[in-house]
């Protein structure tokens, strides 16, 4: 594994052809990498919490019975939605994998990911860290996020309600619980403390139901 810097892009600037393309995966992209890569970095991003608050109509559910998949919630929005479970800026980081797309395949992979993440996801850019208190090892890495204003955003939901949906939902890409279980397994395999308490509790609730 080679830790390398990306060529920085300005905040909000879209990825441009000719630049290296790094993609940060925090959900299914962690374990289902269906595009060519030449490097990867396991690390974390700051300021956002991973949460199963995005409805899935095309992968892990259907239009009639949507499933629930991951998105990233800024801490300030999380605190407004869940005031009894406020985010801790130092502790609440989101671990995932940044993948460097194989050279020459960037445009093809970008089109593929745009389609794969079409159900409410938009592009954003994040810095990726590997150690607390250290500078980021990657800057302005592309990430797909279901922001709270997108039509597939589920809104505030208790863990119990979310678990019930995940336990029963299924779609063209498989069961919703498979998505959750594979994600938890992939994070544990990478680092013991990469699985945040939210995911661990959700996994336990779904396992009780199924």
Nearest to 58 by CA among 86, 28, 82: 28
Is the Cβ–Cβ distance between 176 and 61 less than 8 Å? Answer: yes
CA dist., res. 54 & res. 155, Å (int): 8
How far apart CA 113 and CA 9 sit, in angstroms, is: 19
SS3 content of the chain, % helix, strand, coil (to 5): 30, 30, 40
Q: Which is the catalytic residue, given 106, 117, 196, 203?
A: 117
Reply yes or no on whether 13 is catalytic: no
Q: Which residues contact 40 (CB under 8 A, 6 or more apart)?
A: 1, 97, 98, 99, 100
Which residues are known catalytic residues? 117
């Amino acid at each position: 594994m080679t830790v390398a810097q990306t060529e920085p892009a300005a905040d909000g600037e879209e990825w441009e052809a000719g630049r290296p393309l790094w993609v940060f995966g925090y959900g299914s992209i962690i374990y289902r990498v269906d595009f060519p890569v030449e490097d990867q970095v396991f690390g974390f991003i700051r300021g956002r919490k991973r949460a199963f608050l995005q409805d899935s109509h095309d992968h892990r559910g259907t239009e009639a019975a949507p499933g629930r998949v991951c998105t990233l919630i800024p801490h300030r929005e999380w605190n407004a939605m869940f005031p009894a479970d406020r985010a801790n800026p130092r502790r609440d980081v989101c671990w995932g994998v940044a993948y460097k797309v194989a050279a020459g395949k960037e445009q093809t992979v970008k089109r593929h990911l745009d389609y794969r993440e079409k159900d409410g996801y938009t592009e954003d850019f994040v810095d990726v860290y590997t150690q607390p208190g250290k500078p980021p090892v990657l800057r302005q890495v592309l990430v797909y996020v279901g922001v709270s204003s997108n039509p597939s955003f589920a809104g505030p939901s208790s863990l119990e309600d979310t678990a019930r949906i995940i336990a029963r939902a299924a779609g063209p890409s498989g069961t919703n619980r498979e998505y959750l279980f594979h994600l938890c397994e992939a994070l544990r395999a990478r680092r013991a403390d990469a699985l945040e308490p939210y995911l661990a509790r959700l996994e336990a609730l779904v396992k009780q139901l199924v």
